[in-house]
Amino acid sequence: GVLANDGSDEGKDDGFYMRRCVELAKKAIGCTSPNPMVGCVIVKDGKIVGEGFHPKAGQPHAEVFALRDAGDLAEKATAYVSLEPCNHYGRTPPCTEALIKAKVKKVVIGMVDPNPIVASTGVDKLRHAGIDVVVGVEEELCKRLNEAYIHQMLTGKPFVTLRYSLSVNGHLLNQLGEGVTECGGYYSKLLQEYDAIIVSSSLIDKFLVPTSQEPGANQPLCVITAASRSSPIQIRSVGEEAASKMIIFTDKETTVEPVTAQKGIETVVLDGICLNEILEYCKRRGLCSILLDLRGSFDELEGLLNDGIEQNTLQKVMVEVLPLWVENSTRSSFVALKRVQKRLKVNNLQPRISHQSIILEGYL
Ligand code: AOF
Ligand code: ZN
């Protein structure tokens, strides 16, 4: 498709085309890990003549699809890419070479690639080939798009988001049928963005396996944590495929019911449940983004939360406020959550209106 804009001054529409790149990149939400999401457009005489995005690790990069789409029109055109073009042989050949071969005259880049094997060598390579290069257009937007990828590249650790739902009077909505289930659309979309989700085993007892309902969506690995449970963990209605996307972390005091054990769900027994061990496991499996979801038993998750705060392993907080007033104010989680909130320092809180709720996102 050809998208027209006024096509006049050089550089004037850089923001417009870069935002289009980000929009294209988002078509692969949840599908590219451990790779970043990247979008690319090729612009000639004020018209988009080629578009592409990176669909999945192992498949060609955004630039390759966009150049293919543009064909001969790429010659003397400007390429916009949300991430610096790669300059190495990974699963795929370097995009710098593809751009040079296509004879583009200019490349506009959203952000430099934090991957140490790329880190500005893509920019240098293009400049040496005589291509005009601009870096840092809509940089904040491009960084936000790949916050988990960037964090993982810079620190070697997974990006962890803490999520919970609250009533207007400050109660944690962590029980079955509360909070997120009323706003399935938002939650289902959120799940597909993460490589793994950590939940309490009490949810699983109620057959509540968090899965994304979006068609063809990425299903995160479901990390079930069980600490000092008096009854064994039971997982009954789960198929083979769902079982392969589950793992149980327990402590020595907790048992797993034989029916559950037979389903082929991986089980790891720790001396005590601790967030670092779970994150290490996720890292070994190449999982870059983790959602710590405060649903089910708060007691089971409080230890993990404390680990995250003490060890600085939480990066983001996402709080959903629902138009609900909880009458029963004897819940123990009210006090427990206050204790946790007191120790969280959240910056840059941004509100967003969802279907029936307000979602606040901030960084730690
Ligand atoms: C780009 N465009 O669309 C993407 C890039 O194994 P490979 O060949 O897929 O290389 C993966 C690395 O390439 C990844 O870690 C990141 O540095 C970069 N990703 N680069 O020019 C793209 N997805
Ligand atoms: Zn590339």
Q: What beta strand segments (E) does 182-231 contain?
A: 196-200, 221-226
Residue 2 pLDDT > 50: no
Distance 11 CA to ligand 1 centre (A): 26
Q: Which residues contact 324 (CB under 8 A, 6 or more apart)?
A: 167, 168, 173, 178
What's the chain's Rg over C-alpha atoms?
Answer: 23
pTM (predicted TM-score): 0.91
pLDDT in tens, 16-36: 999 999 999 999 999 999 999
Ligand 1 atom 15 nearest Cα: 35
Spatial distance between the Cα atoms of 248 and 266, rounded to a whole number of angstroms: 6
pLDDT in tens, 55-97: 999 999 999 999 999 999 999 999 999 999 999 999 999 999 9
The tokens of 45 are what? 């005489």
Q: Taking phi first (over 0 means left), then psi (-120 to 50 degrees means alpha), and beta for anything else, what does residue 193 get?
A: alpha
Distance 91 CA to ligand 2 centre (A): 10
The verdict on the CB of residue 90 being under 6 Å from ligand 1 is yes
Do 146 and 319 meet the contact criterion of CB atoms below 8 Å apart?
no
The tokens of 146 are what? 């790949």
240 is catalytic: no
pLDDT tier for residue 184 given thresholds of 50, 70 and 90: low
Spatial distance between the Cα atoms of 174 and 178, rounded to a whole number of angstroms: 6
Q: Which of 27, 33, 35, 92 to mutate to test the pocket of ligand 1 (most atoms within 8 A of CB)?
A: 35
Ligand 1 atom 13 nearest Cα: 86
Q: Which of 86, 91, 96, 104 to mutate to test the pocket of ligand 1 (most atoms within 8 A of CB)?
A: 86
Q: Is the ipTM of this complex over 0.85?
A: yes
Do 302 and 340 meet the contact criterion of CB atoms below 8 Å apart?
yes
Annotate 176-187 with b (16+ C-beta within 10 A) or e (fewer): eebbbebbeebb
Q: Higher-confidence residue: 84 or 8?
A: 84
